[in-house]
Amino acid sequence: MSKWHFVTDGFVKNNPTFVLVLGMCPTLATTTSAMNGLEMGLATMFVLILSNIVISLIAPMVPDKVRIPVYITVIATFVTVLQLLMQAFTPSVYETLGLFIPLIVVNCIVLGRAEGFANKHSVGESALDGLGVGLGFTASLTVIGIVREILGSGSLFGWKFIAGDGILAFVMAPGAFLVLGFLMVLFNKYLAKK
């Protein structure tokens, strides 16, 4: 019996961005370029995998009534560790993402997976689920970032192929909503066909 579907579920059926529509704040705010989207996704995935593992381990020992504060504490710990590590070893990435790293604590995806999956499944399954959902989130953010960067700045991963400016609205908030909306339609159309 393969456990591979825990990973693919997070990627397609439970895609956090286009299907569950969770974690919209970092999704809209950090996807101004493909690289930013990718980095934000990876940062979230790091927290997601570790918090899923730890929470699935401690869930049987945690009294029901205090589980949410316990989960939040665990998640906040990993986010803080991540923040310190990024400040130390990738200061330039930390500068771009800035405020949105500490905000991973309140990202509904992380708590959602802890509460909705990790506390009912084994450690291995939870780790795979964290990986899947994390990859799904990363891929979605990168795709949104790619579209916004092409339309908004005429470049891709920083490589500029159109001289001059793109359509600036796509780099700013309105473009984020537009691109997210259209991609969500496309994704769900594809899912419905299957």
Contact flag: residue 51 with another protein (CB under 8 A): no
Contact flag: residue 68 with another protein (CB under 8 A): no
Q: How far, in Å, CA of 3 to CA of 59, rounded?
A: 21
Contact flag: residue 161 with another protein (CB under 8 A): no
For residue 16, give every residue at least 6 positions away whose Cβ sits within 8 Å of its Cβ, in sequence order, or none: 10, 22, 23, 109, 133, 136, 137, 140
Antiparallel, parallel or unpaired: β 159-160 and 155-156: antiparallel
Nearer to another protein, 74 or 143 (CB): 74
Contact flag: residue 122 with another protein (CB under 8 A): no
Q: How far, in Å, CA of 77 to CA of 54, rounded?
A: 11
For residue 125, give every residue at least 6 positions away whose Cβ sits within 8 Å of its Cβ, in sequence order, or none: 3, 6, 56
State the nearest-atom distance from the C-beta of 193 to another protein, in Å.
35
Nearer to another protein, 89 or 194 (CB): 89
- Residues near another protein (CB under 8 A) are 32, 58-67, 69-70, 73-74, 76-77, 80-81, 84-85, 87-89, 91, 95, 119-120, 152-153, 165-166, 168, 171-172
